[in-house]
Amino acid sequence: MPRRVQFYETDLAGIVHFSWFFRYMEEAEHALWRAAGLTIARAGEEIGFPRTGASCSFHAPLRFEDEFEVWIRVAALSRRTMRYSCVLSRGETKLATGTLGLVCVSKRPGQPMAAIDIPEHVSARFAVDPGAAAEAVAAG
């Protein structure tokens, strides 16, 4: 997913604030779901996909007006969870690497959230990328 750094995304040092990297990864996640013909948060849906974890390692700075790409791949998929591997790059320069994890939950009104199996119509749209799975293991 191509992206350009906006001024409001930068800090006083003139580089992208660390919190934006998580937003970039989440934007790529939503684009991945749309490409699969899905949405991660359909209005009125009684299931949700909250985070179980997120990590990001920074390798090079991003500055205002820089153009970069966000690559996201499915690193792991189980009955109830999914984990992504993300790489942010500018040309040949690796800017950051990260992971996002989620769990499928029921979110019925008046009931506590509880982990449930990812519906078949959702899990069938995703496949684990062997390269992403190996990267996730290496990252620890």
Average pLDDT of the chain is: 92
pLDDT value, residue 132: 72
Terminal C-alpha separation, the chain? 25
**Annotated active-site residue in 11, 66, 117, 129:** 11
What CATH number does residue 89 fall under? 3.10.129.10
11 catalytic residue (yes or no): yes
For the entire predicted model, the pTM comes to: 0.88
Note the pLDDT tens digit of each residue in 60-101. Answer: 999 999 999 999 999 999 999 999 999 999 999 999 999 999
The C-alpha R_g of the chain, in whole angstroms, comes to 16
Give the residue numbers spanning the domain of 67.
2-139
Query: What's the structural domain count of the chain?
Result: 1
Check if the beta carbon of residue 84 is closer than 8 Å to that of residue 132: yes
Q: What percent of the residues of the chain are helix, what percent strand, and what percent coil, each to the nearest 5?
A: 25, 40, 35
Distance in angstroms (rounded) separating the CA atoms of residues 104 and 49: 5
Distance in angstroms (rounded) separating the CA atoms of residues 116 and 30: 21
pLDDT value, residue 135: 60
Check if the beta carbon of residue 21 is closer than 8 Å to that of residue 58: yes
pLDDT value, residue 140: 46
